[in-house]
Amino acid sequence: MKAVVLAAGQGTRMRPLSESVPKPMLPVADRPLVAHTVDAAIDAGAEEIVLVIGYEGETVRDYFGPEYRGVSVSYALQDEQAGTADAVNAARDHLEGPFAVLNGDNLYDRAAIDRLFDACPAVCAIEVAEPSNYGVLSTDGSGEGCVTGITEKPDDPPTNLANAGAYAFPAAAREWLDVPASERGEHEITDVVARVIDEYETTPITLERWLDVGRPWELLEANEWKLADLDRRIDGDVSEDATLEGAVVVEDGATVEPGVVIEGPALIREGASVGPNAYVRGATLIEPDAEVGHAVEIKNSVISRGTSVSHLSYVGDSVLGRDVNLGAGTNVANLRHDDADIRFTVKGERVSTGRRKFGVVAGDGVKTGINTSLTPGLKLETGATTRPGETVERDR
């Protein structure tokens, strides 16, 4: 079966991280987010991958090329992000026979994608506590049952099975992709799913684990998931006076200096340097050419390519974009004194992250002055700066 992977979205909720790097290419452990989806499809036996690209799509094409893991990869360009059905429709000329569609920004448990391909026509679902925030499947309730409908954000959900954005469609669905725009003005894949459900016996495939990576703290959660899957591997240059505990990966070309303690899961990528005397813990990703210097503690964070946290700093539960420079003594607070969930601004609205601990999100090129204090849930836009000694409590 061919697998269409949707990777043309703008990722507006992921800003500022998605401004120069398109969301599908943001780092999740040792590869871009979308590569986890493509890997799941290949592991399930996809015979060809069709990647739908749009916003900054060339970086996706450069990563995968014409062939990836021995499987042919082709590309369909979606000019305007007019919705998920429109995205699959852009790939129409590549399709014949039954085909799968996967969201390029979702992490799936691999075994379920296997079952999805085998059960075609089928829809992946995840059991959730509050289904009314999702597209919800109705089923006929017999055994694993059969899907009888799909409703967007229903007030009175018929099941707790949320649509998880992974589908195996019969060949006929290729002709049903041109659906009218929905109330929110997008051509939605759920309208295609509804027709498949009407015309075919469609199996629900329940996922054990799933993550929709739309907002910056979900990028942290994605890294928590995928870093935990790594096996310990030390290929880089590690001082005898460093202590590496648990599932730590130090890639070839990375340096770990004396006095460093790293508690896994942690991934130190090629060209990165840690130490001397640094402490890295939690699920932490240090990207290529990033520098974590003397007396710096990094916990449960993503430190992107080319970023420096060089001296005397604490960074917890945070995502730092590319080429960020934190001045000496910059500290991040990641916990409120009232223990309430940390809130974050997404498209102009303050929303709960659902996390008790969340630090800051810094866009590419952010520079902080020495002794800057950053409060929980802060967003620093691309290129933002702070003055020495500042306490920053509002997004900038």
The tokens of 51 are what? 């990647």
Please say which residue, 209 or 233, places its beta carbon nearer to ligand TTP. Answer: 209
Is 311 an active-site residue?
yes
Question: Residue 161: left (phi > 0), alpha (psi -120 to 50), or beta?
Answer: beta
**Distance in Å, CB of 133 to ligand TTP, minimum:** 14
CB 48, min distance to ligand TTP, A: 18
Contact footprint for ligand TTP (CB under 6 A): 6-14, 23, 52, 78, 81-84, 86-87, 103-105, 186, 214
Measured CA to CA, the distance from residue 35 to residue 55 in angstroms comes to 17
For ligand TTP, give the closer residue by CB, 86 or 289. 86
d(CA 229, CA 225): 7
Nearest distance in Å: CB 337, ligand TTP? 31
Nearer to ligand TTP, 14 or 194 (CB): 14
Tell me which residue has its CB nearest to ligand TTP: 9
Q: How far is CA 105 from the centre of its chain?
A: 6
Question: Is residue 375 classed exposed, middle or buried when 0-12, 13-18 and 19+ CB atoms within 10 A define those classes?
Answer: middle
Give the distance, in angstroms, between the CA of residue 183 and the centroid of all CA atoms in the same chain: 27
The closest alpha carbon to 277, from 290, 291, 258, 292, belongs to 258
Residue closer to ligand TTP by CB (options 128, 370) is 128
**Peptide bond between residue 121 and the one before it cis (omega within 30 degrees of 0):** yes
CB 23 to ligand TTP: min, Å: 5
Residues ≥6 apart with Cβ < 8 Å to 62: none
Kindly state the smallest distance separating residue 234's Cβ from ligand TTP, in Å.
35
Nearer to ligand TTP, 190 or 202 (CB): 190
Closest approach, Cβ 1 to ligand TTP, in A, equals 19
C-beta closer to ligand TTP: residue 8 or 193: 8
Judged by CB, which is closer to ligand TTP: 12, or 160? 12
Please report, as a single letter, which amino acid is at residue 56: E
Q: How far is the CB of 94 from ligand TTP (least distance, A)?
A: 14
| Active-site hit among 36, 187, 294, 311 | 311
Question: What residues are annotated to the active site?
Answer: 311
